[in-house]
Amino acid sequence: MSSQENPAYRRISAAEAVTLLAADPAPTIFDVRDMASFRKGHLAGAAQLAEDRFLLWQKRLDKAAPVLIYCYHGNASQVFAQMFVDFRFTDVYSVDGGYEALAVVAADRLAA
């Protein structure tokens, strides 16, 4: 069975992601956009992740702990989510809509 038929990670909306961020335990957050975009703005607590640092990160994390990944629009985050799943992580999320959607929802929730 291919990963497209039954992906082991979950694609979630920005609203679901913000809810997940408030959960206990809170997920490890990865921003997979380029470093310049990360420096301009990112979610609090997010780490910038590039392919060349993936192996280091995956060795440091509990494979059962939640991992939340976002990018520009939700495409690259799916690639990274599948990489985590391939390394036997069991609670992995890719955010549809990417950083901009997350930033809007997070700002709305904080204002409420």
Distances (CA, A) of 104 to 27, 28, 47, 92: 19, 20, 19, 22
Q: Choosing from 71, 81, 92, 101, which is the catalytic residue?
A: 71
Distances (CA, A) of 98 to 2, 63, 83: 24, 23, 18
Q: Which two three-digit tokens encode residue 63?
A: 């494979």
Q: Crossing angle, helix 76-86 and helix 51-60, to 10 degrees?
A: 40
| 71 flagged as catalytic | yes
**Catalytically annotated residues:** 71
